[in-house]
Amino acid sequence: MKNQTHAMLFGLGAVLLWSTVATAFKLSLRELSPVQMLLVACLASIAVMAGVVVIQGRWRQLFSLSRRQYLLSLLMGLINPGLYYFLLFGAFDRLPAQEAQPLNYTWALVLAYLSVPFLGQRLRSADVLAGLVCYSGVVVIATRGEVLSLSFSNPVGVAFALGSTLVWAAYWIIATRDTRDPVIGLLLNFVCGLPFILVACALTDDFEFTPGTGLFSAIYVGVFEMGLAFVLWSYAMKRAENTARVSNLIFISPFLSLVFISWILGEVILESTYVGLVLIVTGLWIQQRKVRGKMTEAAAS
C-alpha cells in the first residue's frame, strides 16, 4: 500500500543509519583489520536479514529459486559483500573518515556512466557537467585543498575509495537483471560471499576477536548498514507515492555523517572537506535533476 508519510519515515530511518556508519567503520578498524571487520559485519548482516525473512514467513523462497538465480547469487556475493566492502573498508583504514566517506558518494555518478555501455542509456550533457563538478570535489578532498600540487594525502586509500564506487555501480548494473525479492536476493548474496571472506580472513589474518569497541562496531555495521538500512530503504521505495522526494533524503546523509565524525571520532573537519563535499553533492544534484523531474511527472500522471 502506498503511503508517502510512511515512505519518508522509512527513508529517514535508513539515512540516519547510513550517516553513522563512517564513524562505526573507523571505530572498528582501530582494533580489527578490514577483512576481520568484513567477516564480523557479514555474519551480523546475514543474521538480521535471515531474521527478517523468517518473521515475514518468506523463508521458503530461499529454496525455490532457479539454478540461474543461485549462480547469480554466487557472482553477486563475490562483488557484494566481497570485493566492494574489502575496498571500502580498506579505504577507511587508510584515510580519515571525513575523506573516505565523501569519495564513496560518487558511486551514483559512476553508475550513470556505466549505464551507457552496459544498459544502452544515453550520456547527457548534464552527466558530463556533473562529472566535472563531482570529481573536482574529489580532488579537493583527496589533496586536502592543495589542488595545484595534485599531491594526494594517501594515493592507495583514494584508489580504494574510488575503486569501491566502480564495484558498487557494477553491482547495481547486474542487479537490474535480478528478479528476486530484494531482501531474499541480498541474503543469498551474503551467504554465497561468506565462504570467500572466511578464506580471505584465514589467509591474511586470524579468527581471534576480543570483545571490545572494534568487535561491537563491526556488528553494528552488519546489523544496521548492511542489514536494517537496506530493508528500510526498500520499504521506503515500495511505499513511496513520489520516489523522487524520498530519494532526495540521501543528500542529508554526507553532511550529517560529518557531525558524527567530528563528535565521536574527534576529527577536526578541514575546510577542504566541506568545499569538496559541497562540490560532490552539487554534481550529484545536477546529474539527478532531470531524472527526478521525470520521476515526479510519472508519479503525477
DSSP 184-243: HHHHHHHHHHHHHHHHHHHHHS-S---SSHHHHHHHHIIIIIIIIHHHHHHHHHHH-SSH
Task: Give the pLDDT score at 136.
Answer: 92
> Residue 291 has what pLDDT?
54
DSSP 43-108: HHHHHHHHHHHHHTT-GGGGGS--HHHHHHHHHHHIIIIIIHHHHHHHHHHHS-HHHHHHHHTTHH
Give per-residue pLDDT as tens, 14-52.
889 999 999 999 999 999 999 999 999 999 999 999 998
Domain ranges of the chain: 4-300
- What 3-state DSSP class applies to 285? helix
pLDDT for 1: 66
Q: What is the pLDDT of residues 96-151, one digit of tens each?
A: 999 999 998 888 788 888 888 888 888 888 888 888 998 899 989 988 888 876 67
**SS3 for 2?**
coil
pLDDT in tens, 56-88: 898 899 999 999 999 999 999 999 999 999 999
